[in-house]
Structure 1
Amino acid sequence: MRIQRILAPTAALGCLLTLAACEGGGQASPPGTGASASPAAAEGPLAEAQRHMRQFTSCEDLSTKADDPRMPGGDFPRIGQWSVTEVGVCSDKPEKGDIVIAVPKDMKQFQEGYKRYVKDRIAGGDGAYGLDSRVLIGKGFVAFPTATKTAMKLVRSDLRVLACNPTARVPEGYKRDKPLVEHCSLSDFVEAEDGSGSPNFETPQDPSGDGSKLGQPKTGSLGLPRAGSIAELRKLVGNSLDCGKNFSTDPEAVAIESIDYQPVIKGNALEWGVTGRALCGQPAGERRAHDLSWLDTVGDMKKLQTKAKAAQQADLKDDGKLKATASLLLVGENIAVETNSPSSRFGLYQLQFLYLNCTPGFSAPSGYRLEKSQVEGCVLTNYEPDHPLG
């Protein structure tokens, strides 16, 4: 499902605090040199909130001083507002941002107050207010990070983004918790106007059917390889993978993986639509496992691509990047190969295998293949931005 919004050019970016750089990833103003925790912040709920957040991101120089230049200069949060009893601020220096912390006595009252505030801003003509919410609800406190990357780190914990703009949506693949007020959402989805937030896996990435997108063949597929058995697949990829002496179809051997070589398929291969599976490469023995790749015969290619898409999205979710040791899934008509070796993939592309890519916004330059996959939101391609074909 494509999520579409019509935003006024001058619409606010949903900044929750009127800080100078709330959506730009920067600080409102430089914190005082050598700032240290004020006595009021040295212990109590603010310090507890700081300790919790420091498991996931930096939160240094905690202060409750009203004249601290990092304190919010906007409408909220303020002591006495929406049951807030304490307000502090700390710095996430690696991300060049700050985190304002509010401690409400009544979390429902806080959420109701924020919801009313959003409705008032929308009624005042700021229809996009709150779409890029940076109100993160924790247990007993609320965090307001100014940097998108800080928010991305915090939602990996139990903090959740509170969004009360009625047009805000939580895309597929993200956690949804129940807020304390109706018509708002709590999720681990971080929206950002500049695209630096959480990836939206509901945005269709399949190329247009008319072939107008660069790299897309004008009529259908250029063809994919096939094989009738694991033995035929082994022979097909023999020049690209270490499948000569180091080859096994033994289930225990096939299940081997290492910190350096991680397959795409996890668990029962039958649940992925795979009918046969083999391991190429050297399992651990006298030396660490090396050159591991997996060969698959596929009975249900749509099921395989659906499961692989979910696994890829889970990997992309934290920072928008795949783990360096994760294998990529290259598919044919009824076969697939999992490998994290760029040189091996180069050879497989020559055999007309294509990589299942489910990265939001992906496109391929002219001259590369870009074809429709069997699942929405993914494409098949031989273009890897980090390893372009020479």
Structure 2
Amino acid sequence: MRTRTAQLLASAAAVTALLTLTGCGGGEDQTLGGIGSDTGTGSGGSTDGGAHEGTLENPAKNGGVNGNAPKDGTAFQKLPKAGTMAAAARYIGGFTDCRQVSADNGEDGPTGPNAEFDKAAGVTETGYCGRQNRTTILLYKDAKAFQTAFKAEMAKKGNGGNPDGGIVVGQDFAMGSQDADSMSALLQPQAGLLMLNCHPDFKPPSGFRKEPALVKGCVLTDYYKDH
């Protein structure tokens, strides 16, 4: 089942598929998380990330995935940190299909965020993985800038679409997918990721997390529903 593109990574016409990450079910819109409609830029790859890459077996290797996450930090500070596209893909692949990552979205894959969003959000690389490359991964250098740009994109689109969607984020990477199960899998406690939701009408059921994000008007949550 395809997730809706959130209003950025949001309506069937666009959320961010990064990443686009806001799921909006069904429909033919294949943007990432609802963010834009241009082909993603950047160069994904399947090569080893090198000295700065952590692994699932050793996530703290060289400060790689999870390497800098304090146990007593804020919700954001506890999120995984990748450093490279290879590390992000391997981490995501531990919970959902992401065996190979590529800079090419393929014939049926989602489109990545547009160049304007990339610049505002500090996106440095875009990669695609999963069946028919339906999952998009974004790397970014400034988490606050990314969240600010995501919120602005949502507002620009009128904050319509799925109020229970958004984009799945780590400290320096985001993930969006056309597959609702992939989105949900990464919000399970063992995955350690949360969804960035900037919708003004978001009201999760009791018991789900609703933690402060880095920008006012957005939250980090483990609640997601594909409408």
Per the normalisation by structure 2, the TM-score is 0.62
- The amino acid across from 1:63 in the alignment is S
Q: Is the 8 A contact 1:100 1:144 kept in 2?
A: yes
Q: Is 1:50 aligned with 2:89? A: yes
Task: Quote how far apart the aligned CAs of 1:80 are.
Answer: 3.2
d(CA) in 1 for partners of 2:210, 2:143: 18
Task: Quote how far apart the aligned CAs of 1:132 are.
Answer: 4.1
Please report the RMSD computed on the Cα atoms of aligned residues, expressed in angstroms: 3.3
d(CA) in 1 for partners of 2:201, 2:138: 26
- Map Cα deviations across residues 11-54 of structure 1 (whole Å, 9 max, x no partner): 925743379x962399959xxxxxxxx87442331110111112
Identify if the C-alpha distance between structure 1 residues 55 and 25 changes in structure 2 by more than 3 Å, giving closer, same or farther: farther
Aligned position for 2:55: none
Fraction of identical pairs, as percent: 26
Among candidates 90, 106, 113, match of residue 149 of structure 2: 113
d(CA) in 1 for partners of 2:194, 2:115: 19
Structure 1 residue runs of 4 or more that deviate by more than 3 Å after TM superposition: 25-29, 38-41, 73-81
Question: SS at the partner of 2:139?
Answer: strand
d(CA) in 2 for partners of 1:39, 1:161: 22
- The amino acid across from 1:140 in the alignment is D
Relative to structure 2, which stretch is displaced further, 41-50 or 140-149? Answer: 41-50
Unaligned runs of 5+ in 1: 1-10, 30-37, 194-390
Q: Is the 8 A contact 1:101 1:142 kept in 2?
A: yes
Question: SS at the partner of 2:176?
Answer: strand
Summarize the alignment of residues 22-171 of structure 1 with structure 2, pairs less than 5 Å apart. Answer: 23-24=25-26, 28=30, 40-44=45-49, 45-65=84-104, 68-69=106-107, 70-72=109-111, 75=114, 79-91=118-130, 93=131, 98-122=134-158, 127-156=159-188, 157-171=191-205
- The amino acid across from 1:43 in the alignment is D
d(CA) in 2 for partners of 1:42, 1:129: 37
- The amino acid across from 1:169 in the alignment is K
Unaligned runs of 5+ in 2: 1-9, 32-42, 50-83
Q: Is the 8 A contact 2:110 2:133 kept in 1?
A: no
Task: Choose between structure 1 and 2: higher strand proportion.
Answer: 1
Question: SS at the partner of 1:101?
Answer: strand
- The amino acid across from 1:170 in the alignment is P
Aligned position for 2:7: none
- Higher relative contact order, chain-length normalized (CA < 8 Å, sep 6+): 2
Task: Quote how far apart the aligned CAs of 1:135 are.
Answer: 0.6
Task: Quote how far apart the aligned CAs of 1:175 are.
Answer: 2.1
* Equivalenced residues, count: 166
Name the larger-Rg structure.
1
Q: Is the 8 A contact 2:44 2:101 kept in 1?
A: no
- Map Cα deviations across residues 250-278 of structure 1 (whole Å, 9 max, x no partner): xxxxxxxxxxxxxxxxxxxxxxxxxxxxx
Identify if the C-alpha distance between structure 1 residues 26 and 12 changes in structure 2 by more than 3 Å, giving closer, same or farther: closer
Question: SS at the partner of 1:63?
Answer: coil
